[in-house]
Amino acid sequence: MLKVRPEQLKTLQSSVETTFDKRIVAYLLQHHADLTVKIPAGSFSIKTLPPATLETMVHVGLERARTYGLTWQSKLVAFVILMFAVAPNFDEYPRVQQILLDEKIPPNDRIDRLWEHITDQDWETIEKRYTIGAWNLL
């Protein structure tokens, strides 16, 4: 019988996560290259961000998404894209937070509920509350 030691499993999991991070980076560069994001060093389009910075931002986004129990890749990607497209702290907005923490809704369904319950005016307010520090780049 094949046995996988915990340290081997951790290495494998890390490799899978790195691959997933890189796929999200590639997706952002292919589909959202001209999107402007603000970081402590200034405002940049995604395509002009230093690669290491972009990878860190994606990693921070995935970690943040997982705190809400998101596990499906499609939902994790949607969360990260919202961080880039709207604000890295979009999830702190009270109405968004209420949905993302609603235990009556399965975690991976919560992102879809945002589209149903957050108005265009809410999204505009969230954009205005953009907090650069939410990227944790310092």
Q: What is the mean pLDDT of the chain?
A: 91
pLDDT at 7: 67
Using a pLDDT cut of 70, give the percent of the chain over it: 88
pLDDT at 19: 81
**Whole-structure pTM value:** 0.86
20-39 per-position pLDDT tens digit: 999 999 999 999 999 999 99
Indicate whether 12 pLDDT > 60.
Answer: no
The full set of domain ranges for the chain reads: 10-135
pLDDT at 138: 76
Structure-block tokens of residue 133:
């520090």
pLDDT at 13: 54
49-80 per-position pLDDT tens digit: 999 999 999 999 999 999 999 999 999 999 99
Q: What is the rounded distance in angstroms from the CA atom of residue 86 to the CA atom of residue 96?
A: 12
- Return the sign of the alpha-carbon dihedral for residues 126, 25, 17, 53: negative
Q: Where are the alpha helices (DSSP H) in the chain?
A: 6-31, 51-66, 73-85, 94-100, 110-117, 120-128
